[in-house]
């Protein structure tokens, strides 16, 4: 039981290692491009529906 608390203590003292932080800028860029593509597509769709 004591080893569990030792592991928890070591985990809290150790710095967090996030491998996803390396790819965060590219993920944000891809999400922005996806959002922009959806916005343009919806705008064209609504524009064509109103015109036609």
25 token code pair: 């800028």
Q: Would you give the distance in Å from CA 52 to the centre of its chain?
A: 38
Q: Using DSSP, state whether 39 is helix, strand or coil.
A: helix
pLDDT tens-place string over residues 8-46: 777 667 666 666 667 778 888 999 999 999 999 999 999
Query: Does the pLDDT of residue 51 top 80, yes or no?
Result: yes
Whether the model pTM is above 0.85: no
Rounded Cα gap, residues 34 and 26, in angstroms: 12
């Amino acid at each position: 039981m004591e080893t569990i608390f030792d592991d928890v203590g070591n985990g809290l003292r150790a710095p967090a290692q996030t491998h996803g932080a390396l790819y965060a800028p590219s993920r944000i860029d891809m999400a922005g491009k996806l959002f922009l593509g959806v916005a343009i597509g919806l705008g064209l769709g609504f524009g064509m529906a109103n015109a036609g």
